[in-house]
Amino acid sequence: MPLFDLPLDQLRNYASGVTAPADLDAFWDRTISEAREYPLDAVFEPVDNYLTVVDTFDVTFAGFGGSPVKGWLHLPANRPADQPLPVVVQYVGYSGGRGLSNQDTKWAQAGYAHFIMDTRGQGYGGILGHTADPHPSAGDVAHAGLMTRGIGSREDYYYRRVYVDAFRAVEAAQAHPAVDSSRVVVAGVSQGGGITVAVAGLAAGRLEGVIAALPDVPFLQDFPRSIDIAPRGPYPEIAAFLARHRERYGPILAVLNYFDGVNLGRAATAPALFSAAQMDDICPPSTVFASFNAYGTAAGSESGTAGQTGSGDVPAKDIEVYRFNNHEGGQEHQWNRQLEYLRKLLG
């Protein structure tokens, strides 16, 4: 895949044309408030993961509408009993689920608590999932996949439910006594990266303890441009739907505006380490930079949007760019970068 998007010097200054709805905060205040009317009821059942260095718990908690959401909590087996650990709450990529109990324990191996959220209605794309999506809109007319599920209204759109699940996953992780609730890091790749940006934004003023975000090649950013230029992956599901429902382009963009990471991430106050891949034809680099450049800007002046240390009240943020990679991004190189980043952040 060639370098098909903007050159790097333009990416660093690219600003999305997406603008937040006037009632964006009110919509999410109401959504989170309604979700919290259901008891979290986080349950942690120990399971045998066949490993000697990691302890694993099968987690169930109440997500959107009170419906059960699954997850794994991995803990270092040799952890001090009297010292709660920082936790990395991880969100997974499109079509994936939480996997098996020992499939991904890398953050626990690094010495952190590691919470992996299952994604409702997914787990069919190679990584097993265990969480249903019982919402009535799951049966609406839509293109194959999840991108247009319930897209007729902001109340019914699929990612409203997922973002609420992800928000409550942080609360569920914080509920375990081995977790330091004041030191939560949210992280993910692709769809998981997009959910990470959303949770970082939604947490601001609504949830204490989120101290960093690690979104890799994030999906769900700058929807109008992504729909226009992404030739591969989930975004074309929306384009295919609009090819048959031509009159719905404007209304659909109006709904997506409430879920666009460019809009949600502006409110974030936690420091962030992003990554982008310049040959990425699933999450084009301009859409990732749209998110990165907007991230945290509602917290302070625009002058800090491209720096590593922030300006005024803008949270510190940085982005790693992998020029010759497609959607796989930095992989093990980015993992090492994240380990270094958290070591510095957490001391």
Q: How far apart are CA 245 and CA 243, in angstroms?
A: 6
Spatial contact of 111 and 138, defined as CB atoms under 8 Å apart: no
Q: How confident is the model at residue 306 (pLDDT cuts 50, 70, 90)?
A: very low
Q: Give the pLDDT confidence score for residue 2 in this predicted structure.
A: 86
For residue 140, what pLDDT band results from cuts at 50, 70 and 90? low
Q: Which of 128-142, 280-294, 330-344 is predicted least confidently? A: 128-142
pLDDT at 145: 86
pLDDT at 173 over 70: yes
Q: What is the mean pLDDT of the chain?
A: 94
Structure letter (DSSP) for residue 302: G
> For residue 314, what pLDDT is reported?
84
pLDDT given at position 225: 98
Judged against a pLDDT cut of 60, whether residue 309 lies above it is answered with no
Question: Which of 121, 145, 147 shows the shortest CA–CA distance to 133?
Answer: 121
Cα 285 to Cα 255: distance, rounded to the nearest angstrom: 23
36 alpha-carbon distance from chain centroid: 20
More confident: 67 or 140: 67
Answer yes or no: 291 catalytic: no
Please check the confidence at residue 137 and state whether its pLDDT lies above 90: no
pLDDT at 301: 45
Contact, 61 vs 168, CB < 8 A?
Answer: yes
**pLDDT for residue 179 is more than 90:** yes
**269: Cβ contacts below 8 Å, ≥ 6 apart:** 203, 204, 296, 299, 313, 315
- If you average pLDDT over residues 71-100, what whole number do you get? 96
Sketch out the chain's domains with CATH numbers. Answer: 8-346 (3.40.50.1820)
Among the listed ranges 36-45, 110-119, 129-138, 170-179, which one has the minimum average pLDDT value? 129-138
Q: Considering the entire predicted model, what is its pTM?
A: 0.95
**Of these residues, 101, 137, 190, 226, which one is catalytic?**
190
Please, are residues 249 and 185 in contact by the beta-carbon 8 Å criterion? no
Token couple for 213: 């975000």
- Asked whether the beta carbons of 257 and 28 are under 8 A apart, the reply is no
Residue type, 283: C
Residue 136 pLDDT level (bands cut at 50, 70, 90): confident
Query: Mean pLDDT across the stretch 185-196?
Result: 98
From 5, 133, 260, 280, active-site residue: 280
Q: Residue 307 has what pLDDT?
A: 37
CB neighbour list of residue 197: distance below 8 Å, 6 or more residues apart: 213, 215, 218, 220, 221, 261, 264, 265, 268, 291, 295
Verify whether residue 327 is a known catalytic residue.
yes
Token readout for 275 is: 């990554």
Catalytic-labelled residue, pool 114, 135, 143, 327: 327
Does residue 204 contact residue 167 with C-beta atoms inside 8 Å?
no
Spatial separation of the C-alpha atoms in residues 263 and 84, rounded to whole Å: 34
Please confirm, yes or no, whether 280 is among the known catalytic residues. yes
**Residues in a beta bridge with 319:** 274
Residue 117 has pLDDT above 70, yes or no: yes
Cα separation, 131 vs 127, whole angstroms: 13
